[in-house]
Amino acid sequence: MEFKKEDLLSYDQLKNYMTCDKIHEKAQMLSIILKKYCFIRAFKKNTIFYRLQKEIYYKHTDTDVDEKIQFEATLLIEKSVNALKESKIKKLKEKFKKLYKKYV
């Protein structure tokens, strides 16, 4: 499922994310949005990742949960940057040259 436009990170939120050096705060910034689209549930000895689908149901997987979470977080950042106006993208690239390549 695509992220709703109103759930994408703004320019200021992206700037804060890139300059934040506390992993917990970065995770908090993204989890506020990601929890609308996916969740994790412990079941017996497995961790299960659920992702909201277009048909408004959740698809689950119990393999590579960490990678799935990382993929969703990266996708959110990428979609957020791509939704910005070109002038804002240029500012991000100029201000955060090294970090920009890492995140996008």
Compute the distance between CA of residue 61 and CA of residue 58 in angstroms, rounded to an integer: 10
Could you read off the pLDDT tens digit of each residue along the chain, which spans 104 residues?
A: 689 999 999 999 999 998 899 999 999 999 999 999 998 888 888 888 888 887 776 777 778 888 998 999 999 999 999 999 999 988 888 888 766 565 55
64 φψ region: left (φ > 0), alpha (ψ -120 to 50), beta (else) = left
Domains of the chain, by residue range, sit at: 5-99
Question: Where are any strands of DSSP class E within the chain?
Answer: 38-43, 46-52, 58-61
